[in-house]
Amino acid sequence: MEATERRAVAADGVREAEGAVRDAVREAEDAVARLKEGLAKVGVTLPSLRVDPVSCAGNEPTPLVDLGRCNIDTALRLCEVLAEKGSGHGG
């Protein structure tokens, strides 16, 4: 295999890896959007909810959803919602 062929094969591999990274990040962003929407419907806002950028780095990224920090009132509201769902109330 000549040098130009090796470079072409390497470039294809890079493009493929970049596409996989974009797909993984897009999936994580979609999950964050759905989670924000679902939480908003039950009156809960997690202001720091986002895709963790550090988890998207590297050759084989594994995006994580960072639920972030919230105040005590938000944490208690989330507990209420979970308790209602757990007991069969609240839809």
pTM for this prediction = 0.69
Amino acid at 53: P
Alpha-carbon 55 to chain mean position? 9
Tell me the pLDDT tens digit for each residue of 42-91. Answer: 888 998 999 998 988 877 778 999 998 888 999 999 999 989 887 876 55
Give ∠ CA 21-24-26 in degrees, rounded to 5.
Answer: 105
Tell me the pLDDT tens digit for each residue of 4-49. Answer: 766 665 565 556 667 777 888 899 999 999 999 999 998 889 989 9
Amino acid at 10: A
- For residue 78, CA distances in Å to 45, 52, 59, 85 come to 9, 21, 35, 11
